[in-house]
Amino acid sequence: WEAVEKESGLQLVYNTGGVQFTRKDEMSHVIDAYAKAMAENNISFERLTGSQLRAKFPQFEIDDTYDTIYQPIAGLVDAALANSVHIQLARANGATVLEHCPVQKIEKLPNGRVLVHTPKGVFQCRRLIVTAGAWINHVLGSIGVHIPVYVTQEQVTYFATPNVKDFTKAKYPIWIYHSPKYDFYGMPMHGNSGSKIGIDAGGPVVSVDTRNYEPDKTREQACIKHLERTIPRSLGPIMYTKTCLYTMTPDRHFVVDDCSKNGWDNVIVCCGAGHAFKFASLLGKILSEMAIDGKTKYDISQFNIDREAITNPDWTPTLYMGTGGKVPTKQSSASKL
């Protein structure tokens, strides 16, 4: 991100600090696991009691029945601006962006090159990168490649808090709360929106055809009740709740690999797992190295397409940051894609 900011001259990343917390009698083992991982990777953090966190950030109205961890180097990426910057920098480097141009079919020529069929023309390439999100198997189906993914309909809610000054990026950290049922997360005010809350991987399994854009009032109310208990001054009138899609592999790790096992070594695939955007610049660099040089200098071995979580149909999904093991509920007849 620093390289993208330098090239564009625009700030995209904001360091706010980050908090993870839970009730001691519920999910302290998750906080233990994060503390262990941070220590092993030399990431600075503080393990705080609930009252210590409240002293640092009075917005969190919690006591010592809570277990918390604070990480000073954490924050948010301006996703909308970052998308625009990536596209504009790509165009400046000779890329052509075709919008509303779905891939209809991929085929291989006798010379080994790849043909991509679209409504706006047929394109020939030496190597093809597929990053199709929830449409991943729609695109890969024509070459006989399938990645088992859970597509879920998620949502976030923004509140017009009257306590604006206390919920700016300068005073209020990003946070994650772990509970047996939901993993909540929140962010400070940014851009033209209010304070934000969402539930990570809390929505039903859908497909790109069955998803709708209607917020789930049950999850919206769960978010409100959580804030009433822990960060009540962030609440205010609901500005809006909007939906989005997560596309998750069964182990919630990325897929970054070529399709050589299926005879398509010049087709490269990248599948996120509901948390890929923060790595977008790095993943883009890795994929471009694979496309141009045929390999990357980064170790992507754990993201291979033939690992057990991808190839074993009986693999138990672990889709949640804190709890793990829960299978998303189905909406209608949708299931794992």
What's 56's domain CATH number?
A: 3.30.9.10
Q: Average pLDDT for residues 26-31, to the nearest whole number?
A: 94
Please check the confidence at residue 284 and state whether its pLDDT lies above 70.
yes
Enumerate the H helices of 112-155 as residue ranges: 136-140
Whether the CB-CB separation of 104 and 118 falls below 8 Å is answered with yes
| 217 belongs to a structural domain | yes
Residue 57, domain member (yes or no): yes
Residue-range definition of the domain harbouring residue 66: 2-78+162-246
13 domain-assigned: yes
Task: State the SS3 of 281-292.
Answer: HHHHHHHHHHHH
Confidence band of 319 (pLDDT split at 50, 70, 90)? confident
Q: Which residue has the higher pLDDT, 232 or 323?
A: 232
Residue 44 in domain? yes
Q: How many structural domains does the chain have?
A: 1
What pLDDT is stored for residue 193 in this prediction? 85
Q: For residue 112, tell me if it sits in a domain.
A: no
Residue 145, in any domain of the structure = no
How far apart (Å, rounded) are the C-alpha atoms in residues 325 and 318? 5
